[in-house]
Structure 1
Amino acid sequence: MQGLSKTGSDLLEALVLEILSKLPVKSLTCFRCVCKPWSSSFQTPLFITKHLQNNLRNNNLNLLHKGFCGDSRDGVHSFSQLSTEKGQNFSVKQNFHLPFSGKGWSFLEVDGPCNGILCLADRDKAALWNPSTREFKILPQSSVQRPPLADSTRFRCLGFGYDSQTDDYKVVRFVVNYFEEDSDAGSRFEQNDQVELYSLRSDLWKEISYPGVNPDGSPLFNSYVNGVYYWWANGSSGHLILSFDMVSEKFSTLPFPETLDRFYSHLLDFNGLLGAIFYQGKVTEK
């Protein structure tokens, strides 16, 4: 537009993006073809977060249901978007096709969301998926070196989050290497632990320092809060909370809350704060 200052142009662009962030995903998919700046803007964390907040404010929630059909070897994972509108009784609005379903993804775990993006993991495989735009990216295989004498390797306890300083999405996961030794008493196993970190910006995995404690299973709820991912963990002195800062790429630990029972509680994001949900276990005698 002639005669419009740079400041005025920036304000106009910000206003346009503010309006676009209030539109449904179907409209945004069409508008990506208007121009390259719009298409690029729709993929920025700032726009994704703003669009997600507007959808939450308007109760346009993406409630997903994960299903599995078949046996553990040849089964197929499926995701369905459920309606949250009043009177719809969570009926299926649409089904999502995962391009890697039925191709060895037998024990799929879902982590997130982070800015509307989910991380899917199954043993040594992982992918990033945006259910709203249907975009996905299968992450490359790790090039981190394993101990030369390791007999087997297992991937576990993944964490997914966003680095606001470098505008980067990161995936951290723990790796357990097993060693089998023969002895007079029979075979026994020893293990060696590693931690590796994936950066979407570099599209590479790298090894980072092992924190000295192991997460106690994968979180049931989303436990990524304001740039930090949290797990329950086991230390030499008992239960604790292990955290990983996506910006500094450093681990730290927090004391275990004395009022909680580890076996009946889960960590979660509670309105931007780290929270814990507790449920009372009960044994029924017959």
Structure 2
Amino acid sequence: MASLPNLPDGVIIDILSRLPPESLLRFKCVRKSWYALFNDPKFKAKHFSTSLQHKHILLKRLVTKHSGNKENIFSLFKLPLSIHPSLSLSDIDLPFHEDFRFFEIRGHSHGLLCLTDLRKDIFLCNPSTREFHKLPPSILLLTEPPVEPDDYDSSTNAVGFGYDSKSRDFKVVRVVDFVEGPGYFYPPRVEVYDLSKDRWREIESPVCGHVFWAPCFEMFHEGTYYWWAMTGNTEGNTEIIQTFDMSEEVFGRIPVPESFEGTGDRYRSLGVLDGCIVLFHYPSRGDERSFDMWEMAKDEWGGVSWSKVLTIGPVCGIEKPLLFVSCEELLMEGNGGQVIVYNIKSGEVKEVPIKGDPAKFQGTAFVKSLVSVKGGNNINYEF
């Protein structure tokens, strides 16, 4: 058998592109040529393309340590259980230097996560390489809090992260609200961060609605970021799905199913099944719940329609759906802080040995990558 140094360069590159990022990081010190290779955008793109065949599930869970302190932990494992019946869970030791207890995932793409507490700080993180990057300060948020009750103030309403396939760059969008006194609201303003330039810039695209929190709703999918939002008029408020196109940098609105109107205290969660966006509608509380699932379809003119495709339950002990891990298996959070796999065809329920504080789980399909979160290098990634 030929030794590795005697193999053609193309074969060596192909072998290295199939290794996990953790191994490649250790190999950086082996040769200067390998160090340069692993930092080459073309190799990173090739490595990511190969990694697509080995998808993982990434869970963010809040856990209470023996000391009583709470800590966000990121864990990786493989599903579906039909293929990986013995769950292999690995916690990622991330070098947190700040209090991340209240940080949430605001988008995932190409192995990168966006984390923020919706105050002022936003971080990009690559869990595979353990890289963190704190984004520069906002150019819109006011730097000082108001001194008097009637003073002018600002706050972050929404944050979204994703990849722009046209500019071959990663972007973060932030919507900033402005208010004066007890209730005079000014139109929101929008800024966009480009990773390759490592700076913010303001854009003029009008916002469609005011983003509200909903469990496991926000996501980035195929070039677009999605939020649950409300839009007001003289006749009252209407709920919508607000979107942001990362390439065109414009906001859009998608109507929700008509039957949602006037349904009161109910939650909405968004997901992806077989490439299609699905919307869950379910009670916000109760030991026994039913989860209605609607599938979104778009026509050739961009019009959107919804069709109800499934009702899960009534089932006991389920807090919320997290994400589909296969065409049959839905990962859900139990109301006791456990993780459940629900088979939508058989109705079978399995509990997997993962625990966390109740109502604090987030999950996303995850692909390991070498993509750097260090901004300002003017490098474009062609995936």
Shorter-chain TM-score bucket reads 0.7 to 0.9
Matches for 1:71-82 after TM superposition, within 5 Å: 77-82=71-76
Q: 1:260 to 1:189 in 2, by over 3 A?
A: closer
What is the DSSP-based 3-state SS (H/G/I as helix, E as strand, rest coil) of the residue aligned with 2:229? strand
How many Å apart are 1:207 and its aligned residue?
A: 1.8
Matches for 1:125-204 after TM superposition, within 5 Å: 125-144=121-140, 151-180=152-181, 188-192=182-186, 193-204=188-199
8 Å CA contact retained: 1:146, 1:177: no
8 Å CA contact retained: 1:170, 1:199: yes
Aligned amino acid, residue 241 of structure 2 = I
Q: 1:48 to 1:23 in 2, by over 3 A?
A: closer
Does residue 67 (structure 1) correspond to residue 98 (structure 2)? The answer is no
Aligned amino acid, residue 79 of structure 1 = I
**95, 98, 101: which one aligns with 2:95:** 98
Q: Could you tell me how far apart the structure 2 residues matched to 1:76 and 1:205 are?
A: 32
8 Å CA contact retained: 1:78, 1:95: no
Q: Could you tell me how far apart the structure 2 residues matched to 1:252 and 1:277 are?
A: 20
Post-superposition Cα deviations, 1:226-278, rounded to whole Å, max 9, x if no partner, equal: 11111122123612221111111111122222255783322233343332233
What is the DSSP-based 3-state SS (H/G/I as helix, E as strand, rest coil) of the residue aligned with 2:25? helix
Q: 1:68 to 1:199 in 2, by over 3 A?
A: farther
Structure 2 portions without partners, runs of 5+: 1-7, 289-383
Structure in which a larger fraction of residues adopt strand: 2
Provide the TM-score with structure 2 as the length reference. Answer: 0.57
How many Å apart are 1:55 and its aligned residue?
A: 1.6
Query: Partner of 2:368 in structure 1?
Result: none
Aligned length: 257
Q: Could you tell me how far apart the structure 2 residues matched to 1:138 and 1:275 are?
A: 32
How many Å apart are 1:28 and its aligned residue?
A: 1.9
Structure 1 portions without partners, runs of 5+: 1-8, 181-187
Q: Could you tell me how far apart the structure 1 residues matched to 2:113 and 2:94 are?
A: 15
8 Å CA contact retained: 1:52, 1:116: no
How many Å apart are 1:115 and its aligned residue?
A: 0.8
Structure in which a larger fraction of residues adopt helix: 1
What is the DSSP-based 3-state SS (H/G/I as helix, E as strand, rest coil) of the residue aligned with 2:62? strand
Query: Partner of 2:225 in structure 1?
Result: 229
8 Å CA contact retained: 2:214, 2:269: no
Q: Could you tell me how far apart the structure 1 residues matched to 2:107 and 2:143 are?
A: 31
Q: 1:239 to 1:48 in 2, by over 3 A?
A: farther
Query: Partner of 2:255 in structure 1?
Result: 255
How many Å apart are 1:79 and its aligned residue?
A: 1.8
How many Å apart are 1:131 and its aligned residue?
A: 0.6
**256, 270, 281: which one aligns with 1:267:** 270
8 Å CA contact retained: 1:224, 1:269: no
Q: Could you tell me how far apart the structure 2 residues matched to 1:283 and 1:157 are?
A: 29
8 Å CA contact retained: 2:267, 2:283: yes
Q: Output the aligned Cα RMSD.
A: 3.4
Greater mean alpha carbon deviation, residues 206-215 or residues 79-88? 79-88
8 Å CA contact retained: 2:107, 2:114: yes
Does residue 116 (structure 1) correspond to residue 111 (structure 2)? The answer is yes
Aligned amino acid, residue 159 of structure 1 = G
Q: Could you tell me how far apart the structure 2 residues matched to 1:276 and 1:19 are?
A: 41
Matches for 1:267-286 after TM superposition, within 5 Å: 267-280=270-283, 283=286
Q: Could you tell me how far apart the structure 2 residues matched to 1:227 and 1:257 are?
A: 23
Aligned amino acid, residue 114 of structure 2 = C
Provide the TM-score with structure 1 as the length reference. Answer: 0.74
Post-superposition Cα deviations, 1:126-159, rounded to whole Å, max 9, x if no partner, equal: 0100111111111010123759985332213211
Q: Percent of aligned pairs with the same residue?
A: 29
8 Å CA contact retained: 2:92, 2:127: no
Question: Stretches of 4+ moved more than 6 A in 1?
Answer: 42-45
Q: Could you tell me how far apart the structure 1 residues matched to 2:269 and 2:216 are?
A: 7
Q: 1:138 to 1:126 in 2, by over 3 A?
A: same
8 Å CA contact retained: 1:127, 1:138: yes
8 Å CA contact retained: 1:158, 1:218: no
Post-superposition Cα deviations, 1:82-101, rounded to whole Å, max 9, x if no partner, equal: 4448465565x334233333
Task: Using CA pairs under 8 Å that are at least 6 residues apart, name the structure with larger relative contact order, 1 or 2.
Answer: 2
Query: Partner of 1:6 in structure 2?
Result: none
How many Å apart are 1:24 and its aligned residue?
A: 2.1
Aligned amino acid, residue 165 of structure 1 = K
How many Å apart are 1:166 and its aligned residue?
A: 1.4
